[in-house]
Structure formats: structure tokens, C-alpha cells
Amino acid sequence: MNSEFNRLLDDFKKLHIQTETIEPTFLDISGFPHYENVCSNILQFYFQTSEAHGMGDLFIQSLFKTLGETISYPIIVNGVEREQVTASGKRLDIVITTDNYVIGIENKIYAGLTNDLDDYTNYLESIRDGRQLRKIVLSLYPIRTYSGFVDITYQKLFNSMDSLMGNYWRGSNRKFLDYLNDFMQNIKRLEGASIMDGELITFINDNILDLENLYTQLNSLKKELRQRVQDLSKRIDYDDQKCKQWFWREDGKFLDDLVHDIQIDGATIAVDAYTYPKGWEISIWLRNPNTNQLKNKKDLHDWLIKQGVPKDDIHVDETRNLYSKKLDDVDTVAKCLQELLTVLCK
């Protein structure tokens, strides 16, 4: 078992992984990342050639390019209407009109295609007035259509836009270009496009059983670390009028922490008892200062000495800790922690 894990770690270290930070999009922050109506409203804005985005006919040209058509002249969009009501009361998401074209778009993010496309066709035929008709389902994933509708995925539309963007970005409004990039990133996230390094994905796929086993063992270790600090907490006596006891651990780290927060005239002094896969560490630092005797690290340094903490155990360095002691066994940890809490809470 150990040899397999060693081999796995050795192979992992050989990878040249490009790490990409996953930042939320504005739609993520707003809480509307997958709402079809919100996405359709954004599309309405960018399809309108006279809008403030300054990108002119980029969207409509990209749409025709995705359909395999080339329009050699600038396209002026006369109108982009939302939720157009058919004779039977159904609603078509987007209708775009130009002098030569009527374009109907049904926008599908996650919902299946249950819409009456025949009804949409009848509506579009009723308003075409001799203009050419284009009927489109715009979707995250390929969808089977009928009644003359053509399925276009967001990925294909965005690929067309990328190929044309060089002709438009100079005249664009930077703010709305940033919004567009954010919208495109949001859609790509919804598509499930991988942001992980390809070499890493291959490594995971090739070693999936060993990695699942390792993952199980690591989860067991995290549970054991939490049990250690819980057991330690039962051995510690403290003044609950001055001190609060709680547990903390950081995601992605293999440590756990028994915390005692001591309240002194509005200031909070943190006493952490960390446990690692091997060994322990006790540290003291100023979580929240006050405006009186504990304003900074120097004040805490003097206060700890005044309370009776041995001067040799206190140090000042670049870290937040003024006290840090590494210990091997839980009995020593319990004795040291109890002594500290006794002197600090007196």
C-alpha cells in the first residue's frame, strides 16, 4: 500500500500543473448564473447594433457565421424584442428584425426543449413581410429540433465571435466588453468546461482507483485529527466567564485546532492547540485588540510576562504568534495548555 502511494506522489510531483484561480462571475455574485431570462436580456442588449456596447453588429454577424453564412455588409438591427407572444399565447424568447431578416431565437440553458416550435414558426411567418427567416435554438448542449429550427450551441456562437472580435474591439466600450467577457465565462462554466490542467486530468484518470483509496485514507485522517482535539478538550478546565472554547480547521489542510479565546477588557487573546498528523503545537496571539492595555503585539508581549508566562517562551517575529511551542504527545500538550489557561485567565 505504502509503495503505491509513494509511486503516486512521485508521479504527481513530476506534473507541470498550471493552476488557475476560479473567480466568480458577476452573474455568480448576483445569484442568477443560470437564469434563462437574465441571459436572454443580456443577449437582447448585445444583439442591438445601436446599443452603448459599441460593438455594432458583432453578435448578429457571429450568428450568421455560426449558421455558415457570410454577410458582406454591415447589418443594422431594427429591433430586438423579448417574449414575443404567439397567436396561441406562447412566448418566443428573442425576435430580431432587420431590413432583410426576421430571426427567432429560443434560448435554452438547462431546461429541455418542450416548446411548440411549430407555433413559433407560424408566428415568425406572420411577421416576416417578405424578409428572409432564420429560426434558431440557442443552447448549452446540442438539442434535437424540428419545424426548420437550427440548433446552435453557445460554444459555437462564442467561437464565431472570437474569430470576428478583432474587427470590433477598437470601437467597443471597454466596460461592456468586460461585461461580455464575464457573460461568456459564466456560460462556459455552465457548460462544464474544464478549467483544470489537462495533464492533471490525465493523471487523475489514469490513477483514479489509487486516488480514491488515498482520498478515503485522508478523510479518515481528518476525522482522527478532529477526534484528537475533541478528546483534548475534555481534559481542560477553564473559566467559561472569561474564555470560550471551540474547534477550527482549514479546508484543504491536514490539521485541527482546539481554540480557547480569552476575553480581556474587550480584547481577545487566542490560544490555539494544533494537532498535525505527527505532533502538536500551542500558540498564543492577539485576535482582537482593544484601545486600552492590549493594542498590539508589544502590549500582548508585556501582558503575557505580567501574567506569569515564562519570558523565554515568548518571542517576537514576523508571524502573528508571540508564543509557539511544538510538542510530541497529548499528555504534555494537556499539561502545558492547562497551565497556560490557568495563568492567562487569573
- pLDDT tens digits for range 114-154: 788 999 999 999 998 999 999 999 988 888 889 889 999 88
Which of 173, 206, 239 is the last residue in one of the domains?
A: 206
Whole-model pTM: value is: 0.54
* 142 is a domain residue: yes
Contact at 8 Å (CB) between 327 and 279? yes
pLDDT category at 224 given cuts 50, 70, 90 is very high
φ, ψ dihedrals at 37, nearest 5°? -60, -40
CB 163 within 8 A of CB 149: no
Q: Are residues 284 and 259 in the same domain?
A: yes
Q: Could you tell me if 275 and 181 lie in one domain? A: no
**Structural domains of the chain, count:** 3
With a cut of 80, say whether residue 13 has pLDDT above it. no
DSSP letter (8 states) at residue 89: S
Model confidence pLDDT, tens digit, residues 185-195: 878 777 665 45
Sign of CA dihedral 292, 293, 294, 297: positive
Do 140 and 242 belong to one domain? no
Give the range among 29-33, 162-166, 329-333 with minimum mean pLDDT.
29-33
pLDDT value at residue 114: 78
> Is the residue at 222 inside a domain?
no
- With H, G, I as helix, E, B as strand and everything else as coil, classify residue 275: strand
Say whether both 51 and 85 belong to one domain.
yes
Mean pLDDT of the chain: 86
CA distance 189 to 208: 24
120 is a domain residue: yes
Question: Averaging pLDDT over each range in 21-30, 163-172, 331-340, which range is the top one?
Answer: 331-340
Residue 235: which residues within 8 A CB-CB, separation 6 or more? 334, 338
- In this prediction, residue 2 has a pLDDT band, given cuts at 50, 70 and 90, of low
89 and 187 both lie in a single domain: yes
Instruction: Please indicate whether residue 312 or residue 14 has the higher confidence score (pLDDT).
Output: 312
> Rounded distance, CA 154 to CA 47, Å?
14
Q: Given the DSSP bridges, would you call strands 91-98 and 101-108 parallel, antiparallel or unpaired?
A: antiparallel
Same-domain status, 111 and 257: no
Residue 200 and residue 187 share a domain: no
From the list 124, 71, 77, the residue with the least C-alpha distance to 97 is: 77
Q: In the predicted model, is pLDDT for residue 80 greater than 70? A: yes
Q: Are residues 155 and 271 in the same domain?
A: no
In a domain? residue 48: yes
Q: Are 174 and 71 part of one and the same domain?
A: yes
Q: How far apart are CA 308 and CA 88, in angstroms?
A: 84
Residue 100 confidence (pLDDT) = 92
Q: Which DSSP category does 256 fall into? A: E
Determine whether 286 is exposed, middle or buried from the number of CB atoms within 10 Å of its CB (0-12, 13-18, 19+).
buried
Determine the pLDDT at residue 329. 94
Confidence of residue 32 (pLDDT cuts 50, 70, 90): low
Distance CA 178, CA 244 (A): 47
Full domain range(s) for residue 129: 26-191
Residue 50 has pLDDT above 70, yes or no: yes
Is the pLDDT confidence value at 271 over 90? yes
92 and 174 inside one domain:
yes
Q: What gap in Å lies between CA 58 and CA 5, rounded to an integer?
A: 52
**Confidence class for position 19, pLDDT limits 50, 70, 90:** low
Q: Per-residue confidence at 104, pLDDT binned at 50, 70, 90? A: very high
pLDDT of residue 20: 56
What's the pLDDT score for residue 22?
Answer: 60
Q: What is the pLDDT of residue 1?
A: 53
Assess if residue 220 is contained within a domain.
no
User: Do both 283 and 161 map to the same domain?
Assistant: no
Lowest-pLDDT range of 66-75, 228-237, 276-285 = 66-75
Instruction: List phi, psi (to 5°) of 133.
Output: -110, 135
Q: According to the model, what pLDDT value does residue 121 have?
A: 92
Phi, psi of 22 (to 5 degrees): -90, 105
Please report whether residue 102 resides in a domain: yes
Here the cell at position 41 is: 436580456
Same domain, 162 and 263: no
With respect to residue 247, please indicate whether it lies within any of the assigned structural domains: yes
Distance CA 338, CA 332 (A): 10
Q: Answer yes or no: is 270 within a domain.
A: yes
